[in-house]
Amino acid sequence: MHIPDGFIPTWESAIFWIISIIFVALAIKWAKNNMDEKSVPLFAVLGAGIFAIQAINVPIGMGTSGHMVGAAMASMIFDSPYAGILLLALVLLIQGLFFADGGILVMGANIFNMGVICAFVGYYAFKSLRSRGISIAAFVGGWLALFTSAIVCSLELTIAGTFPLVAGLSAMGLYHAIIGLIEGVITAVVLGYIASARPDMLKWTGGKNE
Partner 1 sequence: MSNGNSAGTNSKNSKFIMGGLIIALIIGILAPFIASGDPDGLESAAGKIINGNALESNLQEIGLEEEGTVAPSPFADYAIPGMDKIGEIAAMLIGILLMMVLGYGVAAILKKKEQIAN
Nearer to partner 1 by Cβ, of 57 and 196: the residue is 57
Residues 145, 125: contact at Cβ < 8 Å? yes
Q: Is the Cα torsion angle 178, 81, 1, 167 positive or negative in sign? A: positive
Cα 205 to Cα 58: distance, rounded to the nearest angstrom: 32
Cα 108 to Cα 189: distance, rounded to the nearest angstrom: 30
Nearer to partner 1 by Cβ, of 87 and 118: the residue is 87
Nearest Cα residue to 67 out of 195, 158, 152, 181: 181
CB of 209 to partner 1, least distance (A): 8
CB of 52 to partner 1, least distance (A): 4
Length of the chain measured in residues: 210
Nearer to partner 1 by Cβ, of 35 and 129: the residue is 35
CB of 66 to partner 1, least distance (A): 5
**Element holding 101 (H helix, E strand):** none
Nearer to partner 1 by Cβ, of 21 and 100: the residue is 100
Nearer to partner 1 by Cβ, of 22 and 45: the residue is 45
Cα 78 to Cα 20: distance, rounded to the nearest angstrom: 20
CB of 183 to partner 1, least distance (A): 12
CB of 186 to partner 1, least distance (A): 11
Q: What is the CA radius of gyration of the chain?
A: 17
